[in-house]
Amino acid sequence: MRNEAMLERLQKIIAAAGLASRRQAEDLIRTGQVTVNGQVVDTLGTKADPDRDAIKVRGKLINPRLARRKLVYYLLNKPKGYLCSLADPQNRPLVTALLPKHAPRVHPVGRLDFNTEGLLLLTNDGELTHLVTKAGDHCPKVYHVKVKGTPNDDQLERLRHGMTIKGEFHRIAQLTPLEQTDHNNAWFELVLHEGKNNQIRNMFDAIGHSVLKLRRVAIGHLTDAGLPVGAVRELTEAEVRRFFSPRKIVPRVSTHKLGKPRLTGKARGQQRRRVPITPSRATVVSRQTTAQPTGAIPPRAPVGRRSKAARPMTRSPL
């Protein structure tokens, strides 16, 4: 007689092997691409014992992968122009190209649009993937968005109360104005408890203010502090454990939008090839100083450094 405690749902086992997310594993089962002990399984909810049952996906045995797998967790600050996928028929750049050279096979946790930048988790842990992507307020995602023009109070209320778009209800859990730009455009900070496709862009389009820039700055307790665009790091054990903690994660709302992020690594190299380098502010100042006419008053010498307590805070933590 089998020990029921050792049985697990097939989609969970496939996700644990790092072959796909749990949702993708369900699609594999529905389409008859999974067998257990030689029998095709196409019913969701079917359980198996990975220590005793021979489980194959697309004809390949996954039990050895389960036996030797090591769970890894990467946090990437995704640049624009990268696809959150493991393959692309159009050969567009993939987010996996920004991972360390010898990184094991991982999948993106959720998605960011091709032209959206910001935080993205990549892992081979199906449990964490399910926990982060399922709807609910257990893992809020925080975004900074720049929109064309400035929405009025009535339009902002529409966003806060939610709206139905193409038969699907969309809602923003929290909406905070950040600042206005010189061109009368506006920055906002949004908190989402769900992740519908193109949700933020579609909602602002519905009120007549299209999105110009979009960046995810926090996933649950993780923020982009100290992680430039294009950079990647592994999560610590404590950071991973906190996702599974029963304590509710409440993101902190900032009072200022983040400054322009700094590119690094492979993303920086690609940016250099695509965009001409402009002179830095230091170079411009140096040229101005050199061209100063004779007899001009030299600039004041810098005053001694202020203490940390006296420095103004330029960015509040999320």
Q: Which residues make beta-bridge pairs with 9?
A: 47
Nearest Cα neighbor of 141 from 187, 191, 204 is: 191
- Give 163's strand partners: 170
d(Cα 69, Cα 104) in Å, to the nearest integer?
9
Q: State the alpha helices, DSSP H only, in 116-211.
A: 126-133, 153-161, 199-206
How far is the C-alpha of 25 from the C-alpha of 208, rounded, in Å?
38
Please give the Cα distance from 111 to 94 (Å, whole number): 12
* Residue 153 annotated as catalytic: no
Catalytic residue (one of 27, 113, 154, 224): 113
Q: Distances from the Cα of 162 to the Cαs of 130, 145, 169, 191, 264, in angstroms? A: 25, 17, 7, 13, 37
Rounded to an integer, what distance in angstroms lies between the CA atom of residue 245 and that of residue 202? 33
Burial (0-12, 13-18, 19+ Cβ within 10 Å), 168: exposed
Tell me the catalytic residues: 113
